[in-house]
Amino acid sequence: MSDFNFNQEKYLKRINLNSDISVDFESLKRIHRAQHLSIPFENFDICLNRKIAIDPSSIFNKLVLHKRGGYCFENNALLLIALKNFGFEARPVLGRVHLSGEPGGRTHQSTLVKFGDDTWLVDAGFGSESPRTPIPLIPNEVVSFEGINYRIIQSEMYGYMLQNKTTDDWKNLYSFDLSPVLDIDLNLGNHFTSTSPDSFFMTARIAALPVENGIKTLYNDRLKKTINGQEENISLEDNATYLEVLEREFGIQLDADYSKLKPLN
């Protein structure tokens, strides 16, 4: 890992962003948004029974050079590497996912960015629920983006809780605290998430990619497009045309035959 050199030009080209980057909040928003729109959330290497390597060189090679996507230990790691390389004060945090109602282990990687006394949570790796704009680490400060409200509240048990609201009620997404995160912590979380039979990512094919005013998501054989408030649901066939949809809708081009994927459940 010590000989890895981050290539700013190739990263910015991958996320379709020009090179005019400053260490300020506007540039943070631009980088965050551009990576969201360019690099999909997906678990197809797990579906191919491949190891998920999270050293910087492997992440850059997969997500930037080979134009794939990944999950939190890849997408948010790439975002963190980029931000630090551009000069931002950024560090990882680990969270517990609360979407099922019961908290999981600390298996979600996200990022905190500081500007003086202000701290922001940025996340490009929480699938369809990823906040698409930085969220201030200020309890109960509401941020709205494309019709979704976000906030962080304090939690006596978990430290902080990220929530969103699309209708009447706030929904818990994930909790996190401010304790230091070491490489071994990330490696442990990534190993469980990518290999344990109890991991959600081991049992389904998943992809998500935001678009302007909407999002495209895939769960097994169900493709859903929600754009400008209009929802379209498509059932995919269990054959090689599945790979064509992956490439067309998410930009995911697999270097494997369809038969190599784990069967649909």
For the chain, domains (ranges, CATH) are: 8-252 (3.30.2140.20)
Q: pLDDT digits over 22-47, tens only?
A: 999 999 999 999 999 999 999 999 99
Residue 146 — very low, low, confident or very high, per pLDDT cuts 50/70/90? confident
pLDDT band of residue 70 (cuts 50, 70, 90) is very high
Residue 2 clears pLDDT 80, i.e. is over it: no
Tally of CB atoms within 10 A around 225:
15
pLDDT at 115: 95
At residue 1, the pLDDT reads: 44
pLDDT on residue 212: 87
DSSP string, 136-197: ESSTT--EEETTEEEEEEEETTTEEEEEEESSSS-EEEEEE--S---HHHHHHHHHHHHH-T
CB 14 within 8 A of CB 62: no
Query: What pLDDT score was predicted for residue 49?
Result: 97
How large is the average pLDDT for residues 128-132?
A: 94
Count of all residues that appear for the chain in the document: 265
- Cα separation, 64 vs 38, in Å, equals 10
| Sheet strands side by side (includes 206-211) | 41-42, 206-211, 214-219, 222-227, 230-235
The model's pLDDT over 214-237, given as tens digits with 9 standing for 90+, comes to 999 999 999 999 999 899 999 999
The 10s digit of each residue's pLDDT in 170-197 is 999 999 999 999 999 999 999 999 999 9
Reading the block at residue 20, the tokens are 């005019």
**CA dist 253 → 44, 78, 230 (Å):** 10, 19, 27
Asked if the model's pLDDT at residue 246 lies above 60, the reply is yes
Cα–Cα distance between 188 and 161 in angstroms, integer?
Answer: 22
| Nearest C-alpha neighbor of 181 from the set 92, 68, 87 | 92
Mapped onto helix, strand or coil, the DSSP state of residue 217 is: strand
Q: How far apart are CA 175 and CA 120, in angstroms?
A: 15
Percent of all residues in the chain with a pLDDT value above 90, rounded to a whole number: 92
